[in-house]
Amino acid sequence: MQTNSNNPNPSNVAATNSNSPSVKFFIPRTQRRKFFLLFTSMTVLGWVVGGVASLALERILTQSLAAAGSVQLQTWSYGIRLLSNIVFALVFAGDQALVMRRYLSGWRWMVATTIGWLTADCVATAWINYISSIASSLNENLSSELVIIFGFLSTIAYIFSGIWLGLIQWLVVWRYASKAWWWIFVPSVAFLLISLLVWLLSFMQNFIPEAILYGSQQGFTAIILGIVPAISFCSLKRRLPRQTQAS
């Protein structure tokens, strides 16, 4: 199936090649391997570059305020973290959009992923902080059972926060794919796999240097965030133009 990458309306491709058996799929069969590798690679690249850029920005701003003798450093810390998160989300979403623009609106995907990621992060952080405050309010040494329970609740909060990312991305996806309601839960599936991976890697913390363990967690996290959506995109069916459906 031939696709014009300069065509801003992906639905035109489906209309032009309606005789192709693979046109019903959001990602044509002949393009799936290339798409899978590109999307996963760009997601990993966005994770690494965005992470480095956000950490560098946060460090520069913090050091600048400290050097200026600002007495409101703690007050500014929230704004600095928010700004660094925005930078990360923009880079992360922008790298994915470079691949997605061939199949849907690249700028819409970038905006939706950026807003969705920031929303999910804020929701997860709020719930985790709330759970931590409950644990702290007990004013006693927590038993191992309570530690496991509170850790489990924090993990559940992190996993379900992905619904916000999926919901906002779905607002873009449904325009181009049919029966795409299940996309709302795709990021939560990725977050679940990430949580299981982190849990498994925790058993190796006594055998692997901390730096290598942290790098492994970050690397596998980025790969999962690329693989799960890539497979999901390949499972979607394209929403055909009305004139094509009528024929």
87-100 per-position pLDDT tens digit:
999 999 999 999 99
- Please report the pLDDT score of residue 69 as a whole number: 62
- pTM (predicted TM-score): 0.82
Cα separation of the two ends of the chain:
20
Q: Could you read off the pLDDT tens digit of each residue along the chain, which spans 247 residues?
A: 444 444 445 544 444 344 444 458 899 999 999 999 999 999 999 999 999 999 999 888 888 777 666 556 666 777 888 899 999 999 999 999 999 999 999 999 999 999 999 999 999 999 998 888 888 777 667 777 777 888 899 999 999 999 999 999 999 999 999 889 999 999 999 999 999 999 998 888 888 888 888 888 999 999 999 999 999 999 999 887 653 343 3
User: Which letter, b or e, does each residue of 18-43 get, where b requires 16 or more Cβ atoms within 10 Å of its Cβ?
Assistant: eebeebebbbbeebbeebbebbbbbb
- Please report the pLDDT score of residue 71 as a whole number: 55
- Please report the pLDDT score of residue 108 as a whole number: 95
Query: Are the CB atoms for 96 and 108 separated by under 8 Å?
Result: no
pLDDT in tens, 189-233: 999 999 999 999 888 888 888 888 888 899 999 999 999 999 999
- Please report the pLDDT score of residue 134 as a whole number: 83
- Please report the pLDDT score of residue 242 as a whole number: 58
What phi and psi, each to the nearest 5 degrees, are found at residue 68?
A: -80, -5
